Amino acid sequence: MRESDSGPANPLSWQVTGMDCASCAAKIRSAVERLPGVSDVRLSVMSETLSISLAAGGTTAAEVERRVAGLGYALAPAKPAAAPKAADSCGCGHDHGPAAADPKIGHRHAPGADHSHEDHGHAHSHGGTGKKADAGHGLPGHVHEATPDGMSWYQTGKGRLVLLTGALLAGAWLASLAWPAGSYWLFVAACLIGVVPVARRAFAAAAAGVPFTIEMLMTIAAAGALVIGAAEEAALVVFLFAVGEVLEGVAADRARASIRALGDLVPKTALVEEDGATRQFDAAALAIGQIVLIRPGDRVPADGEIVSGISGIDESPVTGESVPKTKGVGDPVFAGSVNREAALRARVTRAAQDNTIARIIRLVEEAQEARAPTERFIDRFSRFYMPAIVALAIAVALVPPLFFGGEWAVWIYRALALLLIGCPCALVISVPAAIAASLSAGARQGLLLKGGVVIETAARIGTVAFDKTGTLTEGTPRVTEVVALGRSEREVVELAAAVETGSSHPLAEAILARAETDSIPVRPASEAAAIAGQGVTGKLDGVAIFVGAPRHAMSRAAFDATAKAAVERLETDGKTVAAVIADGVLAGLIALRDEPRADAAAAVAELRALGVRSVMLTGDNARTGAAIAGSLGMDHKAELMPDDKVAAIRELSAQAPVMMVGDGINDAPALAAAGIGVAMGSGTDVALETADGAVLKSRVRDIAAMIRLARATMANIRVNIALALGLKAVFLVTSVLGYTGLWVAIMADTGATVLVTANALRLLRFDAGKTS
């Protein structure tokens, strides 16, 4: 085993088979954490993984494997866990640390430059990728060694135990008809065969420092029943317990199936071009820079960039958008999307473990580790609840016979029933089962949320703050008017295009597009630089140029009445105005308009119907902000610098929890300051690892859908908790009073677990887009 690069701790990861619920994960965590030298224990029920860090000279990997195997779980061989990748350095001078929750951080003009136009977005991401070993169910190279795909429940160890104990139980009942005296020993045999593996796990857990487990309660109940002569009921209890464990596994696999289906979208093989020839290649082994041939009807095997060909690409597997997009040379393609029309050649830009589908899967799987506050509370409650139930059962068994002349057999029997019904399994899984189903349902609908904490916060959101450009609007403005003042229209466009050359910002691209339309040659300005929050500068043919918002340009050049009137007219029409200054003189104005997205007004109306207030935060001028916000029916705050947006978020947060939705660098501080930061854009545009959530379809209405999903999840959790506690309360009383026997107790416990799980799985079918 090698030591990690960062120090003596050695990160390792295992694939764990049979970890089907939060109780299983908690048991493994408690047992492993007690081993010397073990730290940073992380378990994911969704991906069935255990990751830890081992200190040098402490516990070995083999000892960890023996400890977990003793609890009844199968482990694949250990492997070094992949360390999270540091954020890429773009050289732009911006801080890309954890606080920069912006999904599209990057430089826009010159290195280190910012631009004064409102709400600048950017297309490429510098977020870290935070890989995990074997991330992604069903992805090429991701193998469940211990549970091959397609294995049915009856082929598993738990399934075979159910069949065996069921057959023995049925045989004992049949034998009782012909040989009543001998059938007793058949029931004893059925009980012992079924309880031995359970008892082995119970004692292994106790030896690991976790004595209060359902397996221990089951073992005590079965042994006690045999002691008082209730062999038939003991065998039935063991059988029903085994059935319950199988049902838990089936339910957990259903929750994982939707995530595996995402991984299955990526083809296993690719056609690679090398030296003029084409050969089949393992898609999981594709290297960055290789050229792949994508035929009509083929799925794209990797994230890449088209180098030849034009075709319609169906990206619905990635973004949910059903209309194919026509793409050509230089355009990106995403793994899992479908080539519909003509052959394409593409250069691989991301390895298999980093492609869009893999990142989405990794996000959902790792979100399981971000436990909700409700779940953490229930876990703490269970630590006290289990010992209390055992103490109560002991009291029920001893107090009536010792002090009130009760029959020992009767009260021991009732105590055993109380032990069984007191198991908190249903309560413990009530939250994580719902969270897992919600995350899976959301991922299929293009709604990504990072775990239970985010879901709980989203359900309480009272205000949604939107960035304007690229979020509420299309983000693709066009020049609508050029106002010549000190120079001709052609010169105004030429000067502005010179300092915008090389920028990928939408406003800059609009100016460059206008120059191309008017056949104006574009020459890059020298000494190009940006003044943070104000504008961009440069020189062309010795002329000093400044392009920025009028409020900043007024300190650099005089605006006469005509110029001020033109600015007011354009801004009142909801247009963004860029003032062009040449050698300290106002050369002219360029007006740009970015139209609201088609669904923006409907999204605001849906949020209003949910009781959620919508506010637009923009760096644009007050008139433009008022025009856009007024057309959408929402409040607004305009002319905000990045720190002003943070102040606005804090002000709004004092009234209600706030969700911030944005996609530009100016949004990064506000995204970090809000209760939840949500990124807009497709999976490749979004730095999934930095935002709290993302909407992949770039639809504003999906923000309302995200809140609906979160609220439905929390309602489901409340029902689950009520079911679990309600059934426990009823049957605890009936067990003590003698109305409930052992088999009814275990059926009630198993039934509560199944009911809670089934209720949680209903979320897999939840349509967050429905408004009613």
Mean pLDDT value across the chain: 77
**C-beta separation of 66 from 135 below 8 A:** no
Q: Does the pLDDT at position 606 exceed 70?
A: yes
Mean pLDDT in residue range 645-652? 88
Rounded to 5 degrees, what are φ and ψ at 332?
-80, 150
**C-beta separation of 67 from 31 below 8 A:** yes
Active site residues: 467
Of 173 and 763, the one with more pLDDT: 763
What is the spatial distance between Cα 652 and Cα 282, in angstroms, rounded to a whole number? 51
Report pLDDT for 132. 33
pLDDT band at 642 (very low <50, low <70, confident <90, very high): low
Rounded to 5 degrees, what are φ and ψ at 614?
-115, 135
pTM: 0.60
Q: Which of 593, 603, 592 is nearest to 466 (CA)?
A: 603
Q: Which of 293, 287, 286, 288 is nearest to 308 (CA)?
A: 293
| pLDDT tens per residue across span 418-437 | 877 777 767 767 777 788 78
Report pLDDT for 364. 64
Report pLDDT for 146. 36
pLDDT band at 686 (very low <50, low <70, confident <90, very high): very low
| pLDDT tens per residue across span 432-463 | 778 878 888 888 888 888 777 888 889 999 99
Q: Does the pLDDT at position 604 exceed 90?
A: yes
What is the spatial distance between Cα 308 and Cα 310, in angstroms, rounded to a whole number? 7
**Looking at the DSSP assignment, which residues form a beta bridge with residue 54?**
10, 38
Mean pLDDT in residue range 583-605? 90
**Looking at the DSSP assignment, which residues form a beta bridge with residue 160?**
none
Look up residue 448 and give its two tokens: 């990504």
Strand ranges (DSSP E) for 594-650?
Answer: 613-617, 635-637
Report pLDDT for 706. 94
**C-beta separation of 74 from 25 below 8 A:** no
**C-beta separation of 462 from 655 below 8 A:** yes
Q: Does the pLDDT at position 672 exceed 50?
A: yes
Q: Report the range out of 359-373, 511-525, 642-656 with the highest average pLDDT.
A: 511-525
Look up residue 722 and give its two tokens: 């009520």
Coil vs helix vs strand at 144 = coil
**C-beta separation of 292 from 302 below 8 A:** yes
Strand 311-314 and strand 325-327: the pairing is antiparallel
Report pLDDT for 220. 80
Percent of the chain at pLDDT > 90 equals 19
| pLDDT tens per residue across span 397-412 | 899 999 888 888 888 8
CA dihedral sign of residues 153, 155, 158, 162: positive
Q: Which residue has tokens 């088209």?
A: 306
Q: Which of 49, 41, 53 is nearest to 18 (CA)?
A: 49
Q: Does the pLDDT at position 4 exceed 60?
A: no
What is the spatial distance between Cα 433 and Cα 319, in angstroms, rounded to a whole number? 26
Mean pLDDT in residue range 190-201? 85
Distances from the Cα of 715 to the Cαs of 368, 712, 719, 760, in angstroms? 19, 5, 6, 10
Report pLDDT for 434. 84
| pLDDT tens per residue across span 315-368 | 766 655 555 678 889 988 988 888 887 889 999 999 888 887 777 777 666 655
N residues, the chain: 772
What is the spatial distance between Cα 414 and Cα 726, in angstroms, rounded to a whole number? 19
| Other CB atoms within 10 Å distance of the CB of residue 391 | 10
Report pLDDT for 565. 93
| pLDDT tens per residue across span 247-267 | 666 666 665 665 666 677 788
Strand ranges (DSSP E) for 664-722?
Answer: 676-680, 693-695
Enumerate residues 6+ apart whose C-beta is below 8 A from 730: none
Enumerate residues 6+ apart whose C-beta is below 8 A from 9: 3, 39, 40, 53, 54, 55, 56
| pLDDT tens per residue across span 103-162 | 332 333 333 333 333 333 333 333 333 333 333 333 332 323 334 445 566 667 777 878
pLDDT band at 379 (very low <50, low <70, confident <90, very high): low
Look up residue 755 and give its two tokens: 């009911």
Percent of the chain at pLDDT > 70 equals 78
Q: Does the pLDDT at position 57 exceed 80?
A: no
Query: Which of the residue ranges 99-108, 175-184, 456-465, 511-520 would you say has the lowest mean pLDDT?
Result: 99-108
Q: Which residue has tokens 């041939």?
A: 293
User: Mind spelling out the 3-state secondary structure of 487-509?
Assistant: CCHHHHHHHHHHHHCCCCCHHHH
Q: Does the pLDDT at position 761 exceed 60?
A: yes
Q: Does the pLDDT at position 484 exceed 80?
A: yes
